[in-house]
Amino acid sequence: MTTFSGGEALERKLRELAEKLGDGKVLRVGFLEGAPYETTGTPVATVAASNEFGNPANNQPPRPFFRRMIADKSPDWGDDLANLAEAENFDIDTFMGRMGEHIKGQLQESIREFTEPELSPTTIAKKGFSKPLIDTSHMLNSVDYEVKDGIE
């Protein structure tokens, strides 16, 4: 842990950190623009939203894999980010990229571990297995992140 004392040392250290952080960064994790679903050309984000919130027109119940991940994991994100920032000497591009990979992995884990509600017998027969949210693994493999300059 970094330590310093005295008013001038504090001001100097804060100036150094501010220079390293610049104008800040924005981290986006999820199903980013431009990722089409392989068989239909539909954006992966649309398919993911249909899974997350359900689609009554297709008799598809909600499977809230994203919301559950956020509820379970987000309380630790502040500490995770602080630890990564310190470990990377506050190099914002590096620690934000590592945080993006971290949350991406958590979201992919949520998709892999999701089990309820179960698939209908018709869907299981069509797919040949009973794992919700995974058919070709395209949605799972489309989870991504980006670090952008500035505040949106």
**Alpha-carbon span 77 to 27, nearest angstrom:** 12
Q: How would you class 57 by CB atoms within 10 Å of its CB: exposed for 0-12, middle for 13-18, buried for 19 or more?
A: exposed
pLDDT tops 60 at residue 41: yes
Q: What range does the domain containing 64 cover? A: 7-149
* Percentage of residues of the chain with pLDDT beyond 90: 63
- How many domains are contained in the chain? 1
Mean pLDDT of 112-130: 93
For residue 77, being part of any structural domain is answered with yes
pLDDT at 54: 96
For residue 114, being part of any structural domain is answered with yes
For residue 2, being part of any structural domain is answered with no
15 with 22: CB under 8 angstroms?
no
pLDDT at 40: 86
For residue 1, being part of any structural domain is answered with no
pTM of the predicted model as reported, rounded to 2 decimal places: 0.83
